[in-house]
A and B are shown apart, each in its own frame.
Chain A
Amino acid sequence: MKPQLSPAPRDEDLRAYLPAIEPERTISDWGRSERLEGLLDATVVSFLYHYWFRCEVEGIEHVPSTGGALLVANHAGALPPDASMITKAIAEEHPRPRKLHLTVEHFFKGYPFFSMFVAKIGGVPAHPANVHRLLADEDQLVLVFPEGAKASAKLYKDRYRLRRFGRGGFVEAAMRAGVPIVPIAVVGAEEAMPTFAHVGLLKRLTGLIYFPITPLFPHLGLLGAAYLPAKFKLRFLPPVPTHRMGAEPWDDKGLVQAVADDIRVRIQDELVDMVGRRRSVWLG
């Protein structure tokens, strides 16, 4: 059964009744852990951002400083590094650094250890009601990968070719919350951990969403989680406003699809441009 759509805005404004912040706590109501995030940032993420992927960021000013916004990016890599690089880019480059929540598949909530880890680094199951609460009520930044697992599962030969953008649910969520959509094009993640093939039998045995063969996995075991040092480029594109599209635009499925397609085309064009200018996968 499909999860229900997010509730339409209620007549009375319930934002005033959100729980107060409890400063002694290190875990948020969403299960996000400051400590684990800080630890990861100090050890892995900073290193990857500055020295391994040498991230280059353009257009960070397109991320709004206040209010909710939905960030939409292309997705790649068997263990995708793009989410943490986008998070880090906003923390490093933005004049008013903000945390962002990342929507993840429901699968992660049901799989042991992933369920702990993903929630603690800011992952939120991609339920429309969750996205709505974050965007409309809590004024947060939310990052979605509309391609979902179709993108991280795709093979190296299909790199930088965007998959279908779901059913446009992300556009609907942004419209309901009346927040802008900020498209992001990421180059480099495809080469950091490319997938050459999938092993169907092992996927079924482990219950994972896919079981990939990458340059280092599974033959190097845990070392297979290491990334190749591809050069990363992140380009934030001008925001697409959704609050002036008429009354209840989310009911107009045609409009939703048109906006979703438009965003997909903009990211795809940007990727083609960025890959075209790139002289080396490793040096940029």
Chain B
Amino acid sequence: MSARRVLITGLSSYWGGRLAQALEQDPAVEAIVGVSPADPTCELTRTEYVRVGTQHALLKRIVQAARIDTVIDTRLIVDSGASSARTAHENNVIGTMNILAACGGPDSPVRKVVFKSSAHFYGCERDDPAYFTETMRRPHPPRTPIEQDIVEAERAVAAFGGRNPGVTVTVLRFVNGLGPDLATSHSALLSLPAVPAILGFDPRYQFIAEDDISGVLEHATRHDLPGVYNAAGDGVLALSEVVSLLGKPAAPVLPPWGTGLSASVLRRLGVKLPPEMLQQLRYGRAVDNRKLKAAGYAFRATSRETVQAFAEHLRVRSLGPAVGEGYQYEREVEEFLRYSPAVRGDDRLGLGRMTADQLAELARALNALPGRALPGPDPERARR
């Protein structure tokens, strides 16, 4: 079933916004509602934004009122450098619970839940397999708070799937995303003049391009992909390869023993080194992306191409700030543009997005109004 009435949680996150932009292009998607506690960060034309956190009573009302059939949860925090451990836990574990509570129940219109997770689910350990497949469990219990959160959130999603057999539940485990518009601890690390590394280790890394992140989410929205899927660009790079693609020197400043201690010194100096990243810098990780490819998704970039694109971005960025400001959400402006009768455009009411049947129905409804008689549906429009 392709999604028609969509709720995106975490609209203010990069991937949430990009997904909404992609879905706006599709006339088959009737309604897009985005919720998040913070304003959207990218320009949206017909997505309805509701500022709400993860209070499940409020979410449930939105889901019921808008007859949402597909919920895409892009809100998971997978980078402990992005927020405090407490906020992350609140968002990842409690938030997921609330959102699932809002989607569940016998009277719920929701038919599909897409959950954006992370390859941190698998952790990074010495005795890991070279490629994690979706059926593998992590060999050791989680080491860092963020991994613990992700494991707990996924457990809640799995339990939800068990309780609601009529709902298609997709879990997407993304590897590290990389791209010009994406700010993560890893992009900060790779932007440094020399890339810190652990002495004596050359971990294997996979990346997914930012276009592919929204692409995979979109693919899962349009098609039914029940189960868990790894999402990673093709190819696995050694960190030394990544660094040379960026044209930078590697700086093995972290000693193999006492890494945590020296990392805390670097953190004082302003280098973002979250604990889960230290694990990755030591052991590396790769996942098997073939299940997602078999499910019909064609990745636009390999890991290598992703790093190359990022390298180009870094070189251009060093020229100085770009012309023009970034997007700033202003509620009044957005509401004016969407709802004011004063706004003139080719197709302000969005009639062009309607099917012939819908237009005919609209015309019938208008004709039924007392004292009004309109000609039949405009043949010009209906053909479009």
Binding site for B on A (CB under 8 A): 1, 3-4, 7, 12, 14, 17-20, 22, 25, 27, 29-31, 33, 106-107, 109-116, 119-120, 124-125, 127, 129-130, 133
Contact = CB atoms under 8 A, between A and B. Distances in A.
Contacts of B202: 31, 115-116, 119-120
Interface residues of B, number: 36
B362 interface: no
A180 B339 CA distance: 70
Given A27-B241, A129-B129, A3 B139 contact: yes
Interface in B261-317: 283, 286, 288-291, 293-294, 302, 304
Given A14-B294, A31-B204, A127-B127, A22 B238 contact: no
**Which among A112, A113, A120, A133 has the highest number of chain B CB atoms within 10 Å?**
A112
B290 A14 contact: yes
Nearest to B137: A4
Interface string B188-230: 0000000000111110100000000000000000000000000
25 contacts: A1-B140, A14-B291, A14-B294, A17-B289, A17-B290, A17-B293, A20-B234, A22-B302, A22-B304, A25-B241, A25-B304, A29-B235, A29-B236, A30-B236, A106-B127, A110-B283, A112-B198, A112-B199, A115-B202, A116-B202, A119-B238, A124-B130, A125-B128, A129-B136, A130-B130
Interface in B230-261: 234-238, 240-241, 256
Contact of B238 (A3, A31, A109): A31
B35 to A, nearest CB: 35
Contact of B237 (A27, A116, A119, A129): A27
Interface of B: 126-131, 133, 135-137, 139-140, 198-202, 204, 234-238, 240-241, 256, 283, 286, 288-291, 293-294, 302, 304
B130 A127 contact: yes
B238 A27 contact: yes
B305 to A, nearest CB: 9
A116 B241 contact: no
9 closest A-B pairs by beta carbon, nearest first, are A112-B200, A19-B234, A112-B256, A110-B126, A129-B129, A17-B290, A17-B293, A29-B236, A113-B200
A127 B128 contact: yes
A213 to B, nearest CB: 25
Contacts of A4: 136-137, 139
A230 B130 CA distance: 36
A3 B294 contact: no
B136 A109 contact: no
Contacts of B234: 19-20
Contacts of A17: 289-290, 293-294
A106 B126 contact: yes
Nearest to A20: B234
Nearest to A2: B139
B294 A30 contact: no
A112 B241 CA distance: 18
Given A1-B140, A27-B240, A127-B129, 16 more contacts: A3-B129, A4-B136, A7-B133, A14-B290, A17-B294, A29-B204, A30-B130, A33-B238, A106-B126, A106-B127, A109-B126, A109-B283, A110-B283, A119-B202, A127-B127, A127-B128
A19 B302 contact: yes
A177 to B, nearest CB: 15
A125 B133 contact: no
Contacts of B294: 12, 14, 17
A20 B240 CA distance: 21
Contacts of B137: 4
A120 B202 CA distance: 9
A120 to B, nearest CB: 8
A7 B133 CA distance: 9
Contact of B129 (A20, A27, A33, A130): A130
Nearest to B232: A19
B127 A18 contact: no
A17 B232 CA distance: 13
B201 A3 contact: no
Contact of A125 (B127, B140, B236, B304): B127
Given A7-B135, A27-B241, A116-B201, A18 B290 contact: yes
B301 to A, nearest CB: 12
Nearest to A112: B200
A19 B294 CA distance: 12
A20 B303 CA distance: 12
A33 B238 CA distance: 10
